[in-house]
Amino acid sequence: MTSFLFGRIVSMAISLLVASIIIFAILEILPGDPAQFMLGVNAQPDTLQALRTQLGLDQPVILRYFSWMAGMLHGDFGISYTYRSPVTELVLQRVAVSAPLALYALTLTILVAFPAGIIAAARRNSATDLTVMGATQIGVAVPNFWFAIILMWVFAVTLHWFSAGGFAGWNKGFFEGIKSLTLPAIALALPQASILARVMRSSLLDTLGEDYIRTARAKGLSQNKTLWRHAVRNALIPVLTIVGLQFSFLLAGAIIIENVFYLPGLGRLIFQGITQRDLITVKSVVMLLVFAVIFVNFLVEVAYVLIDPRLRHQR
Amino acid sequence: MSLLAIKNLTLGIGRTPILRDIDLEVDEGEILGIIGESGSGKSMTALSILRLLPHAAELGGSIRFEDMEIVGRSEAEMCSLRGNEIGMIFQEPMTALNPVKTIGDQVAETVMIHSGKSRAEARVIARETLNRVGLPEEQFPLGRYPHELSGGQRQRVVIAMAIALRPRLLIADEPTTALDVTTQAQILDLLKKLVNEDGMALIFITHDLAVVADLADRIAIMQQGEVVEQGETLSVFETMHHPYTKALFSASQHVPERKVHGVDLDRSHAVVRVNGMVRDYRLPRKSLFAAPGQFRAVNNVSFTIRRGENVGLVGESGCGKSTLTRALLALERMQGGHVEVDGVVLAEDAANSRDIRRKMQVVFQDPYGSFNPRHKVERLVAEPFHLLDDAPQGADRRHAIEAALEEVGLLASDAHKFIHEFSGGQRQRIAIARALIIKPSLIILDEAVSALDVSIRAQILDLLTDLSDRLGISFLFISHDLSVVRSITDRVMVMQRGEIIEEGETESVFANPQHPYTQKLVAASPSVEHVLAARRQRQAT
């Protein structure tokens, strides 16, 4: 297990290094000069040159890559071109919204999807199964921004249970913070939960067809106990793969929902960064997201090994 | 009164009748063998006793276990019966155990379900039971996982789960079919021992006549959902009242007739010459920086197959016979030695593998998995044409396909059908037609009849013999089933741990095996007649 962990961590570091080179290179190739963008079209050439020197844009590419990398290792992501404040600070403020939102949405996803998928599989072809499958079909099909608007209209505008948008801030207390993330989290979770419930159901149905399920029944276990004791854990591997992908999506892919609910999250930061050629912010946020994705996949792989003893010896 | 009495049992799934008027009885300490081909209803009979049937199944008639009626009992009552009073073991030991639970927990579970004992107490019983089935603590601690065990060892765990509570009745559904012959012999001995010690009744389901002939006190023969004949083992084999019993018996004994003067051939011509073949596999790295290990699957193997000759290759699973086949077909690279087919030497980098492959074709074991279900037979059979530089086109192509189909006893019109319209035996004929169509010098049959019922198997063996007589094709017949190899091959090679340890004329190798391993193999797979003769002798004394 230790050598497995060590190997995974090494490969994670290599992936990050490769990703950093690719991200840096792509943003180098992209047209658009940040200094020009900051000063506008009518800027004087010498002012422009001075700003370029100040931002370090006149240094050779290799040097800029290494100073960017070295900075990141110290937690220094540089100064945002447009906000004129440290990127680290900006990112931390946004992560404080995006990470809890993603976790919240993922928790809801799992809390809904697992029971729904398991019940549907256990009562295959029954009315319950049909209902669950019908509901998830709709959940996958409905665009989540539209669902977000419906939620807002019902729970904020009509019932006044939640505010219609914005983030209360954690300094007002945990409950207030969570409350302002609730509607966005539900809107994010709906399509994800629908997908995950379907994956859970089909994975469980495959498992229920395995020979060892029949063996367990021949031992005298009832259908329900067989399901819980022998099927669910075996069905989890494909489900976990999807959960890993979904977390990455929830963290980075919430741009639309953040905009609908007017939340200051990473999605909006990166969106603004791109439109304003704030390349240093874009680079840093993308790098952070890559790290998050790779780290979550690492956790998923560790979970595989914990679930399935067969993988412990192969690695 | 018998322990188990089945009367007028009927079973239907939807509108399809599966079982009709089954009458069977088993007494304590008795072994009942149920024989039948696939689809005869033997497994369904067993699953009816435990009521582990598909959802739409409807049972009629009566199954009495002691003084308890099983048909119509509630599911909860059935749960308390299963694993407690009636145990069951299944065919496929590789998949019958939950891969994420330890063997100790899986055996202990049976105990915990029924006795209300704590996990610790149940694990003590699990330990004792595993010892009983021949898995001692030193090598097989409770914390082992199924994937760490071989097929035979896993089947012992399944048996331990079934007998942990010393049930009155044990049902074994083809428990040794997926195992090697020597492992099969050990498992059969174990079952016999358990029946003797516990006095439990055993229902043993199989398609293998030799196994039941040796094991069972009484046998029942099933065909299309009915019991066509049953009685005391020896007397059933002696009288064979029902025509199906006779047919089954003769099919299992079937030896295809060879017409030695078929075509005029240069029988000294070597079709395949293998010299010093070595095939190594890389093992996964033990740690990140360690060099990967090596496993030598085929070690310095040499042999020659002559024109029109049928050569058998026997050995147990893992001995390297499939690896040898793949290297021979140039599907995998060898690490040493060379292969020569019809005078063409297979190049080191397999660059000329096309020239080699068109001279060799292969028929695999599974007639269901080896065809693309979306293609018509015509396209499937014509597939090897891509190996030819001037493949026939248009009418020539059609004639070639039709000729190949007729050659294997199918109709020319079958070319326009899809593969799902054919039975297992017919599919294997199509596979043979596919191999024949480019007129290869050698056809490799990799367990090609192992998945077939005995009557179908007999037909396919006749077909193969006929093809080799008429067309002078050589066969390399790879099988773990010694009786089949004995009936069809001229010469046999015995493989163990990657080496050929004995070879010679088939009859002389089987009649007088020299190597201890061959002796063990031959002893573990006796013919029905042998077994019956031994039994008669035992009864006489």
Question: Which of B98, B142, B177, B287 should we substitute to test contact with A (largest number of A Cβ atoms within 10 Å)?
Answer: B98
Query: Which neighbouring-strand residues pair with B304?
Result: B273
Are the beta carbons of A234 and B76 separated by less than 8 Å?
no
Residue B218 has what pLDDT?
Answer: 94
Is it the case that residue A32 has pLDDT exceeding 70?
A: no
Is it the case that residue B338 has pLDDT exceeding 50?
A: yes
Give CA angle at B366 (B53, B489), nearest 5°. Answer: 125
Q: Chain A partners of B101 at a C-beta cutoff of 8 Å?
A: 230
Q: Chain A partners of B48 at a C-beta cutoff of 8 Å?
A: none
B114 CA to chain A: closest CA distance, Å? 8
What's the DSSP call for residue A170? G
H/E element holding A68?
helix A61-73
Q: Does A314 touch chain B (CB under 8 A)?
A: yes
Q: Does B84 touch chain A (CB under 8 A)?
A: yes
**Encoding tokens for residue A148?**
């977000």
Which stretches does DSSP call E strand in B176-287? 201-206, 218-223, 226-232, 270-282
Which of A135-144, A184-193, B246-255 is the least confident region? B246-255
Residue A68 has what pLDDT?
Answer: 81
Q: Would you say B29 and B4 are in contact if contact means Cβ atoms under 8 Å apart? A: no
Count Cβ atoms below 10 Å from residue A299 Cβ, excluding itself. 13
Average pLDDT over residues B54-65: 89
Q: How many contacts (CB atoms, under 8 Å) link A and B? A: 79
Which of A52-61, B33-42, B188-197 is the least confident region? A52-61
**Encoding tokens for residue B78?**
């059935």
A162 CA to chain B: closest CA distance, Å? 45
Q: Does B116 touch chain A (CB under 8 A)?
A: no
Pairing of strands B169-173, B31-35: unpaired
Residue A315 has what pLDDT?
Answer: 43
Query: Which neighbouring-strand residues pair with B341?
Result: B272, B344
Q: Assign A13 to helix, strand or coil.
A: helix
What's the DSSP call for residue B128? H
Sheet holding B57-65, edge to edge: B16-26, B4-13, B57-65, B68-69
B21 CA to chain A: closest CA distance, Å? 25
Sign of dihedral through CA atoms B507, B513, B515, B517?
Answer: positive
Distance between CA atoms of residues B143 and B160, nearest Å: 15
B115 CA to chain A: closest CA distance, Å? 12
Question: How large is the angle between the packed helices A279-307 and A87-122, nearest 10 degrees?
Answer: 40
Q: Does B49 touch chain A (CB under 8 A)?
A: no
Residue-wise pLDDT tens digits, A273-300: 888 878 788 888 888 888 888 888 888 8
H/E element holding B21?
strand B16-26
Are the beta carbons of A309 and B147 separated by less than 8 Å?
yes
Residue B308 has what pLDDT?
Answer: 85
A126 CA to chain B: closest CA distance, Å? 12
Q: Does B260 touch chain A (CB under 8 A)?
A: no
Q: Does A230 touch chain B (CB under 8 A)?
A: yes
pLDDT above 90 coverage of chain B, percent: 38
Is it the case that residue A244 has pLDDT exceeding 70?
A: yes
Is it the case that residue A313 has pLDDT exceeding 70?
A: no
Question: How large is the angle between the packed helices B119-132 and B151-163, nearest 10 degrees?
Answer: 120
Q: Would you say A109 and A198 are in contact if contact means Cβ atoms under 8 Å apart? A: no
Q: Chain B partners of A220 at a C-beta cutoff of 8 Å?
A: 79-84, 110, 113-114
Distance between CA atoms of residues B170 and B31, nearest Å: 9
Residue-wise pLDDT tens digits, B474-489: 999 998 888 888 888 9
In chain A, what are the domains? 2-73 (no CATH), 95-314 (1.10.3720.10)
Please tell me which residue of chain A has the smallest CA distance to B83.
A219
**Encoding tokens for residue B221?**
């023969």
Is it the case that residue B260 has pLDDT exceeding 70?
A: no
Of residues B269 and A131, the one with the higher pLDDT is A131
Closest Cβ–Cβ partner in B95, B113, B287 for A219: B113
pLDDT band (50, 70, 90) for residue B468: confident
Are the beta carbons of A3 and B113 separated by less than 8 Å?
no
The amino acid occupying position A68 is: W
Respond yes or no on whether ipTM tops 0.85: no
Closest Cβ–Cβ partner in A3, A212, A221 for B287: A3
Residue B22 has what pLDDT?
Answer: 92
Is it the case that residue B520 has pLDDT exceeding 60?
A: yes
Residue partners of B335: CB distance under 8 A and separation at least 6: B278, B279, B280
Distance between CA atoms of residues A28 and A38, nearest Å: 17
Are the beta carbons of B109 and A221 separated by less than 8 Å?
yes
A7 CA to chain B: closest CA distance, Å? 6
Residue B264 has what pLDDT?
Answer: 67
H/E element holding A256?
helix A255-260
CA separation, residue B82 to residues A314, B62, B351 (Å): 36, 18, 59
Mean pLDDT of chain A: 85
Is it the case that residue A31 has pLDDT exceeding 70?
A: no
Of residues B274 and A58, the one with the higher pLDDT is B274
Closest Cβ–Cβ partner in A7, A212, A222 for B98: A212
Closest Cβ–Cβ partner in B76, B109, B147 for A219: B109
Mean pLDDT of chain B: 88
Q: Would you say A232 and A210 are in contact if contact means Cβ atoms under 8 Å apart? A: no
Q: Chain A partners of B283 at a C-beta cutoff of 8 Å?
A: none
Closest Cβ–Cβ partner in A6, A216, A310 for B99: A310
Residue-wise pLDDT tens digits, A172-204: 788 888 888 888 899 999 999 999 999 999 999
Residue-wise pLDDT tens digits, A198-232: 999 999 999 998 999 999 999 999 999 999 999 99
Q: Would you say B402 and B415 are in contact if contact means Cβ atoms under 8 Å apart? A: yes
Is it the case that residue B349 has pLDDT exceeding 80?
A: no
Residue B209 has what pLDDT?
Answer: 87
Residue-wise burial string across B21-55, b where 16 or more C-beta atoms lie within 10 A, e elsewhere: ebebbbeeebbbbbbbbeebbbbbbbbbbbbeeee
Q: Does B83 touch chain A (CB under 8 A)?
A: yes
Distance between CA atoms of residues A47 and A26, nearest Å: 27
The amino acid occupying position B246 is: K
Count Cβ atoms below 10 Å from residue B538 Cβ, excluding itself. 8
Residue partners of A269: CB distance under 8 A and separation at least 6: A90, A91, A94, A281, A285
Distance between CA atoms of residues B541 and B532, nearest Å: 14
Is it the case that residue A169 has pLDDT exceeding 80?
A: no
Q: Would you say B274 and B303 are in contact if contact means Cβ atoms under 8 Å apart? A: yes
Q: Chain B partners of A221 at a C-beta cutoff of 8 Å?
A: 79, 109, 113
Of residues A14 and A4, the one with the higher pLDDT is A14
Residue-wise pLDDT tens digits, A88-100: 888 888 888 888 8
Question: Residue B201's closest CA among B225, B179, B226, B218?
Answer: B218
Of residues A81 and B515, the one with the higher pLDDT is B515
CA separation, residue B48 to residues A177, B10, B61, B200, B457 (Å): 59, 10, 11, 19, 29
Q: Does A311 touch chain B (CB under 8 A)?
A: no
Is it the case that residue B250 has pLDDT exceeding 80?
A: yes
Q: Does A310 touch chain B (CB under 8 A)?
A: yes
Is it the case that residue A39 has pLDDT exceeding 80?
A: no
Distance between CA atoms of residues B54 and B16, nearest Å: 13
Q: Chain A partners of B80 at a C-beta cutoff of 8 Å?
A: 220
